[in-house]
Structure formats: C-alpha cells, structure tokens
A and B are shown apart, each in its own frame.
Chain A
Amino acid sequence: MLLVLDSNEYIFGLGLSREPDCEKLIDTLREKHSKHTVRIPRLIVGEVRKNLSPEVFKEFILFINQLTSIDEDILVPFELAAKYESKGLQPEDAFICAYTEWVGAGALVTENRHFLTRQKDLPFKVSTAEKIVGIL
C-alpha cells in the first residue's frame, strides 16, 4: 500500500510524545518496506523540522532518505488543492489532501480529527495509526 503519513505520525512515532500505535506504524513501515511505500511532501518535512533539534533532524532526513524521497510542494497541481478547499478544508489541510490524491496514495494516516471526520468523497482512506497497522 502507498501511504502518506501526517506530521503527527512522525512526531508521535519518533517518540517526541509517546503514542505506541504511531511508534509501531513507523517500525512496521520500516520492517515491511518491500510491501508498502511512504511518500512525504516538503511541507510535512518542515513541520517535523520545527520540532526537532538540528542533530535529530539530520538523523530524520537520513532515515527518510532510506525509505523514500521528499516531494516538493510546488509539484502538486493548484487545482487539486482548490478542490479540497472548496469542500471546506483550510488551505494547508487542502494541500495535504491534494498531495495524497496526487501521489495516488491508498491512505492518509493521521491522528488529526479534522481529517478523520472528512472521510466522505475522498479518493483515499483516512486512517489512524492504530487502524492502519492492523491491515499492513
């Protein structure tokens, strides 16, 4: 499965605030690398960076570069984000949905209720770490 992980999954999964399901998600994706692909946009990398020391962020980049490559935000078509804004999402959240659709991901994994309550009419699933780990 192709997945996009929201920044909260990285923050919780790396241990900055302990959430065992999110840690398990990160571990599972690393262990089952041949079955699943992770995609990450520059915006999410920036959000993670804001909360890590430079030393930890360097390790994060080295970690991510082993799993995937970072996509530049500008690659995502504006029209796709506008579609999600018209559905009532904030522009920055609309971008995340647009990115998830653009890469063709099967799911956006997040603990953010603002996404989790908007499951209807999306071309991808929105799931928590707990739920997605069960099917990976």
Chain B
Amino acid sequence: MLKTDKTGIERAKKHLNRIRELVAQRPSPFEGMTKDEVIEQLRKTRKELWEQKLVTRT
C-alpha cells in the first residue's frame, strides 16, 4: 500500500484546495438538499453503478 511522503502530502493539499475552490465556484448538484437527501441520492447512484457493472460483466 502506498505511503505518502512529505512532498506527496503537499501535493495532496494543493489538489484538495483546488477541488474546494472549483466546487465553491459552481452550483452544486446537491443544492438545497438536506444531508439525508444527499445520502439518499448517493445511495441511488451506487445502486445504478452497481447494476451497470453487473450488466457489463454478464
């Protein structure tokens, strides 16, 4: 398993900051949703992806 060195952690910080900057600039797909609604939406996404995965394997 990969263990990150100090340089890697600095890079991770840079990417994480960039993600949060970009996310803050755009409308979120979860705008106006409660925490439970977001979780429910993600459960639906998981189910869809899982079903797609099964279809492609059979």
Which residues of A line the B interface, CB within 8 A?
7-8, 11-12, 14-17, 19, 26-27, 30-31, 33-34, 37, 39, 43, 46-47, 50-51, 53, 55-56, 59-60, 62-63, 66-69, 73, 90-93, 95, 111-114
Contact = CB atoms under 8 A, between A and B. Distances in A.
Interface of B: 1-4, 8-9, 11-13, 15-16, 18-20, 22-24, 26, 28-30, 33, 35, 38-39, 42-43, 45-47, 49-50, 53
Contacts of B19: 14-15, 56, 59-60, 63
Contact of A8 (B16, B28, B39, B49): B39
B16 A30 contact: yes
Contacts of B23: 14-16, 56
B50 A95 contact: yes
B15 A62 contact: yes
A88 B43 CA distance: 16
A74 to B, nearest CB: 8
A32 to B, nearest CB: 10
